[in-house]
Amino acid sequence: MKLFDVYSLYDIEPVRGSGSYVFTADGTPYLDLYGGHAVISIGHAHPHYVKAISDQVAALGFYSNSVQNSIQTRLAERLGKASGYKDYSLFLCNSGAEANENAIKAASFATGRSRILAFGKAFHGRTSGAVAATDYPAMRAPFNTTDHVTFVPLNDIEAVRRELASREFAAVIIEGIQGVSGIHEPDPEFLRQVAEECKATGTLLILDEIQSGYGRSGKFFAHQHAGVRPDIITCAKGIANGFPCAAVLLSPAIEARKGMLGTTFGGNHLACAAANAVLDVMEEEKLVENAAEVGEYLISELRKIPQLQNVRGRGLMIGFEVEGFTGPEFRKKLLFEQKVFTGGAGEFTVRLLPSLALSRKDADIFLSRLRNALEA
């Protein structure tokens, strides 16, 4: 049996990691400015993380949600405190798509409505409901109907008002910062106005913080830069530093009825141990603050490089284009000539999604290698 082709693969296999580096079998180090697609939040093989999940799997790696799990309870309490959403309820699942799927479902249950408002170039996942709200038609099979979804341009408040005036929409779903589209941020005033329109029309506001959340933007959630308070928040990616885990945070106004949402693997003992270890490290090493500081420095320095265009982002979620190159061409050049992993979006954007623990020293190493690639 051969593997199903999912992505185009570089001819490189990392076999171990440490901090902001991954290594191939021959010991060659690569600076990781991609984080496995924004997943590695506290760095590769952090000793505290390794010990926490090793100890947990040696004790009890899994049991279903039919029994009490104090590790889940601890995670809910700590996540509420860290994020500023102590009064919300927490539903744990396995992936970002699953989180958004359950967020949309919860909004429909709560409002009795079936329509969803989403935005141009949005990406919310590949499962049925999530992909229907994703503005990439090639990802949708004929089975994935979009009859119940309306797309409007990002940052167009008049378009939002026109649609929500019908009072037919269960929710507006929006990314804290659009990732797959190439790092595009909702204007803070636009986000505040969307929140106001939702409140006025009985529509719930879902903030998809799958990629932009968990400290990446320099605040715990990217929407907190705008000062809004959504009805539902979804997060995944960095929540457990690579162990499959995701979460839906639901406001007190949404009744958490038994049987409304469910999962077999979600919130299992090992996933929660990993997620608690991530919060330990984030708090102890002040990684949200580090993401803000190092990200601001990195963006500032990137803007000084004349060959780079449209440098944008917040914290350690950064995008730019390179004059004279497509994104894949330049990413390949960085990878093979300068030993740097980066991400991409579309035809031209290079995306940086490193660990929140990226040091100023490693940021400078990246900048030096980037300049070398441009000069070569």
Beta bridge partners of 69: none
Q: What are the tens digits of pLDDT across the range 62-120?
A: 999 999 999 999 999 999 999 999 999 999 999 999 999 999 999 999 999 999 999 99
pLDDT per residue as tens digits for the range 273-283: 999 999 999 99
Q: DSSP string covering 288-344, please?
A: HHHHHHHHHHHHHHHTT-TTEEEEEEETTEEEEEETT--HHHHHHHHHHHH-EE-EE
Checking if the pLDDT of 9 tops 90, the result is no
pTM of structure: 0.97
pLDDT at 259: 83
- pLDDT by residue (tens digit) across 200-219? 999 999 999 999 999 999 99
For residue 122, give every residue at least 6 positions away whose Cβ sits within 8 Å of its Cβ, in sequence order, or none: 133, 134, 135, 151, 154, 173, 174, 175, 178, 181, 208
Check whether 373 has a pLDDT greater than 90: yes
The pLDDT of 225-242, averaged and rounded, is: 98
Tell me the pLDDT tens digit for each residue of 152-192: 999 999 999 999 999 999 999 999 999 999 999 999 999 99
Task: Report the 10 Å Cβ neighbour count for 262.
Answer: 11
Residue 59 has pLDDT above 90, yes or no: yes
82-89 contacts, C-beta under 8 A, 24 or more apart:
82/220, 82/279, 82/282, 82/283, 83/220, 83/221, 83/233, 83/249, 84/220, 84/224, 85/233, 85/249, 87/251, 87/252, 88/233, 88/249, 88/250, 88/251, 88/252, 89/249, 89/250, 89/252, 89/254, 89/256
**Could you report the per-residue pLDDT of 293-327, keeping only the tens digit for each?**
999 999 999 999 999 999 999 999 999 999 999 99
Q: How far apart are CA 244 and CA 39, in angstroms?
A: 10
The residue behind tokens 């010990």 is 51
